[in-house]
Chains A and B, each alone.
Chain A
């Protein structure tokens, strides 16, 4: 059994740790609330964008001419890994990286390059010496539209100029405050959009030509897809951190209870020992 002073010191340490994890839990909860709102707000736009593209694709006769749709033999693939910048969010990054590793292991007959979003994933792959085209970090847990556009420009220009033939995203879908799902999703080329079942489109008037509409719609579409992925990833990160920190706070509480018990036991033992000493001393004097 540890000495009284040592136990007391440990209790103090754990108490202050608990204070920190509690604060982090609350911060994550506040950020999560905002992030969930963003997920909800981003949905209608993405949905309408999908609809409009599918209408355009089915109404414009002939082949789709936009380069984002070009499906060519694959020599080189790009993987975009979206992780968090900071740790202490439970198994969030581990889960994303596991999925990414799984994807990488499946690629045999082609070259692979990476684009990393979030410091954690970047550090991981830098250590393992994977070719990283570019790293985007320091997001502060909030998605940024302009910077996302920048990523979109990089990815699409690499694809259009033939530096890569396929781009895949690995990120987390946000399901609820406490649940997320890691997905690997094709980004480019974009699959030819299909109409919903039972939906029909008639003759459309196009202003200007369908080609021109494509060329202004597609960059927006590509950005929206990326923004959606990032918004969901950030929300999942905050959710995961909130749960992890909640768990840590609870564990710290349990640890404090056990230590307090130890402390009291040690104190009692010492008192008992002292009494015994006094009593046996008195006995000895009596002779």
Chain B
């Protein structure tokens, strides 16, 4: 068991003891168990899975953030994190289509956009859709 806190600018998503955690680190997914070596990594948009003290697996979608593990505590600071069950799929799909359309029209030189922002918006939406599809089979 170790302590996991997932915090976003809006709220504290979870602050509880968990048995294991997998998170999308900078160099690919990584697993964390009790007494993991101290670690700081950036997170990519992806899926967080953790097993709580009742052995239930929870899945969340995260966008960019950071993970720190030290002294048997794991802290995730994320720009946004939602429980897979709370994902608003219609909104995610709409966001996906919107940023895709923006990218395409920018490619043709019709409009100018904030490219990195739109790309990361697209990535975020795609990630939400992916996590939603994986958990709603």
Contacts and interface: CB of A to CB of B under 8 A. Distances in A.
A204 B10 contact: no
Contacts of A227: 9
Nearest to B73: A51
Closest 9 CB pairs of A and B: A207-B41, A205-B39, A204-B38, A207-B26, A208-B26, A45-B9, A45-B7, A44-B12, A48-B7
Interface in B1-27: 5, 7-12, 25-27
B133 interface: no
B70 to A, nearest CB: 7
Given A208-B26, A208-B27, A203 B38 contact: yes
B38 A201 contact: yes
Interface in A203-218: 203-208, 210, 212-213, 216-217
Interface string B68-90: 10100001010100000000000
A130 interface: no
Contact of A44 (B7, B39, B64): B7
Given A48-B77, A52-B75, A216-B64, A204 B9 contact: no
A213 B42 contact: yes
Nearest to B79: A220
B75 A48 contact: yes
A179 B70 CA distance: 38
A255 B41 CA distance: 64
Contacts of A56: 40
Nearest to B78: A45
Contacts of A45: 7-9, 77
A164 interface: no
Interface string A182-208: 000000000000000000011111111
A49 interface: yes
A117 B72 CA distance: 42
Contacts of B68: 52, 55
A207 B39 contact: yes
Contacts, number: 73
Interface residues of A, number: 28
Contact of B38 (A42, A48, A202, A220): A202
B113 interface: no
- Prevailing SS type, chain A contact patch: helix
B66 interface: yes
A59 B38 contact: yes
B40 A59 contact: yes
Contacts of B75: 48, 51-52
Contacts of A52: 40, 66, 68, 75, 77
B37 interface: yes
B64 to A, nearest CB: 7
Interface in A247-269: none
A213 B9 contact: no
19 contacts: A44-B12, A45-B8, A48-B5, A48-B77, A52-B77, A59-B38, A59-B40, A201-B70, A202-B38, A202-B70, A204-B70, A206-B39, A207-B26, A207-B41, A208-B41, A212-B42, A216-B42, A216-B64, A220-B79
Nearest to B5: A48
A217 B8 CA distance: 14
Interface in B75-115: 75, 77, 79
Contacts of A41: 10-11
B7 A213 contact: no
Given A59-B40, A212-B42, 20 more contacts: A41-B10, A44-B12, A45-B9, A48-B7, A48-B77, A49-B77, A52-B40, A201-B70, A204-B70, A205-B39, A205-B41, A207-B25, A207-B27, A207-B41, A208-B41, A212-B26, A213-B66, A217-B42, A217-B66, A224-B9
A204 B7 contact: no
B37 A205 contact: yes
Interface string A95-117: 00000000000000000000000
Contacts of B42: 207-208, 212-213, 216-217
